[in-house]
Structure 1
């Protein structure tokens, strides 16, 4: 691959965020190369993708092969899991109330990544190697890989994770923070049907969320204080299943067939600017948020669709897609959406941690009471969650689900 062979877009990183960015750019008429080692084929996690993200998968022509392996999320239940005498009412958001068949789908990461890989293999130049050097010039960026082989592009997409080397090369700083919590993730079978409803128990130490999977399975995100998470992780499967059943208060009946558990500390990170020096940041290079509300990969899909739209339009007009003007448009288009989501999730998590303070608990309870009482307010919240007003790229718009 000679340096004179200049691509429009070079995506660094081949996780779901990088692959979806490469695929979106390619179908927008941008000559694209995606560089990075393949993702972990043993990844047991799932991703809850909402309507706009599913619409993007449809436009990439891979939704048909994924739908059969995915579970529709038709409802989201929020339950006050505190032990307060005055508890907030339970709130159930139903997709049909807002005119949707489903809010989205819970999709296993492995088939999702495989489908995105197949698209990139067909529509981009796919190099399954690591980038060893990044040289940013006035008119393009040269990336070195392997035995001093290079590719050159007008614009680089940094999708190489929270410790992004491409972001560092561009001189983009980040704000980082931590939470006094850890998250335990696993998949389990249960006795009762979940009916397509994702349940969030809002507890003083953080949410416990179960997301519906195929059949009578669900995916768990259990947030606890680090020492308690460590204790739960050390339990044998039978003891853990018992404690999970107790925490869920029998909601799904008896628990069994637990997959290996993983735990990780909660943290957050946000790029201070989203584009600089012919580099735009996407995925976790741009935003890291706790696994609350299933926002991470949905944000990454909006990064990808927005970038593809802005860069595609710039190329059509004959502009330099890596110019300061084009980079500024991407930064402006994504900043409000990312900032709003980070703020909302941080506020929710910290409000739970501060729920022992009467005023905080009262305010949260009044908010849930308003949602429980008003179908109009619930509908507004649901529609904003499916495709937020701050970010509605064309590749994510289309038929209602």
Structure 2
């Protein structure tokens, strides 16, 4: 590694311009640490949405951005699951109601573009945080600092590097951290639509033989849709005219929201999974999709990433207060220990649910149906599942 420029010194370098990277950068800078955010320009408009659960919203409140986000988001008061597999063993409909937990809502759904715009504004204004529009070309991780060289020729020295640069992470690869990855025989077709009937703040997930078909409220009479299909099925949807696609999607939704009208063009994403074999390396912490990726089921992705960030902030802030090395092995080991169980549990649960929809094995179908039946009929079990779904580890503590 070589550069004609002397290294620029920072406490922490955060790499990645998505929500995880920007939220981590804001939270760390607010701890009084000198931070640099290295994020490439993002010209592609993201039509997808993100559902944020209460613990994620608490973090966004803590860093002062939630009030600017809330006005563009739709509240999610109920979550309805409907078995639409058409198989021999079919589960009864289950409705999870936030009022059962004494909550006004489980969370909020927002367009990624709206979320990113707010985070970009706050990052630009945050004291102690410098942002450069660049990518990391190479990285070295030493005993007492890491050195990053950007494509633009800048050399950055930091006591800690936070990798939020996604599933194809340059930093993770440079640190020699291996991943376990897998793919599914599925493609997610994603779009937003308008509908004639009000959604009443109810998110509806149809379980189909090819995967979930999920409608999540947006402001007004709009919803975001994730339709998981086979590769051929997704190709058929993408080849349809707007009118035919609207009619097909309305049929799949059993017209519960009336007539559909597309408000964005459909996008498609092959489904896959990934877990890093370690969440840390020398002077390096992985967060978000750099550490874990799984299918868009149960709105767990970004919420899991924000729990990464909350736990990382916790151990870094404690080390700073104790005048300890916040990028050292002791702190990073504590971060990995905090995150290991949550990541493993979420990844396995989402993988199991997704595969249970795809299998034709009758005992698995029966077990899934029985689980849904019990969740619908047994109140304490249903409430436990709701608490763990939105705030893992707080099963008997969650309240507003």
TM-score normalised per structure 2 = 0.95
User: Unmatched 5+ residue regions in structure 2?
Assistant: none
Among 139, 154, 164, the alignment partner of 1:134 is: 139
- Quick check: 1:202 aligned with 2:211? no
Provide, for residues 8-38 of structure 1, a one-character-per-residue CA deviation record: whole Å limited to 9, x for no partner: 2110111111101111112233221111113
Equivalence for 1:394: none
Equivalence for 1:26: 29
Among 220, 233, 236, the alignment partner of 2:238 is: 233
Aligned length: 395
CA contact (8 A) 2:7 2:154 kept: no
Distance across 2 between alignment mates of 1:381 and 1:161? 29
Equivalence for 1:253: 258
Distance across 2 between alignment mates of 1:134 and 1:245? 49
**In structure 2, the residue corresponding to 1:188 is in which secondary structure?**
strand
- 1:368/1:148 Cα in 2 relative to 1: closer, same or farther (>3 Å)? same
Distance across 2 between alignment mates of 1:140 and 1:390? 36
CA contact (8 A) 1:70 1:213 kept: yes
Matches within 5 A, 1:1-400: 5-40=8-43, 42-123=45-126, 124-354=129-359, 356-389=360-393, 400=400
CA contact (8 A) 1:11 1:34 kept: yes
Distance across 2 between alignment mates of 1:384 and 1:398? 10
CA contact (8 A) 1:3 1:152 kept: no
- 1:251/1:165 Cα in 2 relative to 1: closer, same or farther (>3 Å)? same
- 1:58/1:399 Cα in 2 relative to 1: closer, same or farther (>3 Å)? farther
TM-score normalised per structure 1 = 0.94
CA contact (8 A) 1:174 1:272 kept: yes
**In structure 1, the residue corresponding to 2:87 is in which secondary structure?**
coil
Provide, for residues 326-376 of structure 1, a one-character-per-residue CA deviation record: whole Å limited to 9, x for no partner: 11111111111111110000000001111x322111111110111110121
Provide, for residues 40-66 of structure 1, a one-character-per-residue CA deviation record: whole Å limited to 9, x for no partner: 462121110100111111111111111
Distance across 2 between alignment mates of 1:86 and 1:135? 54
- 1:9/1:398 Cα in 2 relative to 1: closer, same or farther (>3 Å)? farther
**In structure 2, the residue corresponding to 1:384 is in which secondary structure?**
helix
Measured after TM superposition, the shift of residue 147 of structure 1 is 4.5
- 1:29/1:178 Cα in 2 relative to 1: closer, same or farther (>3 Å)? same
Distance across 1 between alignment mates of 2:72 and 2:63? 17
Distance across 2 between alignment mates of 1:3 and 1:12? 20
Distance across 2 between alignment mates of 1:128 and 1:86? 53
Measured after TM superposition, the shift of residue 202 of structure 1 is 0.7
**In structure 2, the residue corresponding to 1:114 is in which secondary structure?**
helix
CA contact (8 A) 1:60 1:119 kept: no
Measured after TM superposition, the shift of residue 108 of structure 1 is 1.2
